[in-house]
Amino acid sequence: MIRRRALLLVVLLAMLPACGNAAPRWQALVLPAAVLAAKNGEPEPLVLRTLRLTLPDGTRRVQFSDEDEPALVNPGETLAMRFTASEPFRGAGLLVAAVGGETRVVLRLLEDTAGRPIAEQAFENIEDRRWLDLEVAEGRPGPYRLELRVERGRAGWWSQRLADSTGSPAGFAATGAPLVHNAALTVPVNARAERIAILGGVSSYDHGIGWWRDYEVQGDTGDRQFVGDEAGAIEVRYSSGAVDRAPLVYGWTLWWRTHLTSDRWGGPFPQPFDDPTAQAARAAALRLAPTEHPLAPFQWQIVPRREAIESIAIVDSPAKQGVPGHRRDLDPVARPAGERGPARARDRRQRRGR
C-alpha cells in the first residue's frame, strides 16, 4: 500500500510506539551520499556530468544529458564522472566545453573499483558543445569512471548542478545526495514502522521530454518520460524475506516541477493543468502531497506491513535518464527526537494510497 512521493531526499520512519495510545515518533534515515562527479580528484557533491555510451550495435545510450554549466578547467586539471553500465558497450562519451579552438584534451576510462585503465584517447582543436566519444574494445556491465584531462587551452565538461551548497534551507545540508545510477541503494532499518514518508517526487532529469538536439545525439528514448513510465522503485524489505515494491511512475508517485511552475527555460507552462477537469484528473491519479519545502516539492508515504523492516532500497531504472533524487537533492540532517514528520495527507483515501 503506497502513499505518496517518489524520488529521494529524505526517508522518515514513523516508529511504532510501545503504548498503543502514544503518538508515533518520527526518525530520519540519513541516506549515504553518493558523489558521482570529481574535479582534480576531489569529490564534487550534487553535480552530474553529461555522459553517453555507444552500444555494440552502434546505437547510443545516454546516461545524462542535462547541463547548465560548462565546468571549465585549465591545463593539467581533470574532471571525472562515475557511472554504472547496465549492458555491454564499445564507447563512452561526454559533451565537451571549449574556449577557442586551440585545445587538447585526453579522455580516459577506468574501472571504478580497481582503477584499472580501460582506454585512453586524445582530441585536439575541439569545438564547444560537441560530443567526444572514447572508443572501448569491450566494455562489460559494471561501475566505471570517465575522466577528462586538459592538456592545452581552456576546456571542460558540460555538467548539471543539482543544488547550491551555499543556500541550504533549515534542517538540510547541501553536502551530498543518494544518487543511485543504474543500480540500487540499500539503507538498513532493522525496526518496525507505522509509516514510511519519502520527500521528493521528481527526477534529476526534470523534463517530460528532452531537448530537440537530444534526438540527434541519443538514439534512445531515455529522455522521453511520459505519464505511466516507470523510472525506478522503492522496495521495503522485511526480515521475513517478504518485499513490498512501490514503483516510481510518472503520474502516480513521480511528477514534474520545473517546466510547470518556474520561469526556467521560458516557463512556467501550466497547460493543460490550469483547466479544472485536468486538475481533477491529476489529483485523482497522483499519490504526491505538496510540501512547503523549497527543495522538496512533494511527499508521499508507504504503509508497511506490521513486521520488522530489514532495509529500504531505492532502485534506479536504466531505461530512463535521471536518478532517484530530484533537481535540488539534499542530505537530511537528523531531526531532534520527537520532532514532527511530514504533514498528514488530507483524507483517508490519500493516506492509504488508494
**Largest Cα–Cα distance of the chain, in whole Å?**
72
Q: Strand 130-139 and strand 331-332: pairing?
A: unpaired
CB atoms within 10 A of CB 41: 9
Domain boundaries of the chain, sorted by first residue: 10-34+162-351, 47-161
Sign, CA dihedral 251-255-256-260, equals: positive
Type and span of the H or E element at 154: strand 142-157
pTM of the model: 0.69
pLDDT for the residue numbered 72: 95
Taking CA atoms, 192 is separated from 23, 24, 258, 310, 343, in Å, by 15, 11, 36, 9, 20
The answer as to CATH 2.60.120.820 being correct for domain 47-161 is: yes
* Residue 181 in grid coordinates: 545510477
pLDDT for the residue numbered 278: 87
Sign, CA dihedral 245-187-161-197, equals: positive
Mean pLDDT by 10 residues, the chain (354 residues): 33 55 59 79 88 91 84 96 93 92 93 92 92 93 96 94 58 56 82 84 76 56 82 92 93 82 73 86 86 73 90 86 52 34 30 32
Give the Cα separation of 340 and 312 in Å (integer). 21
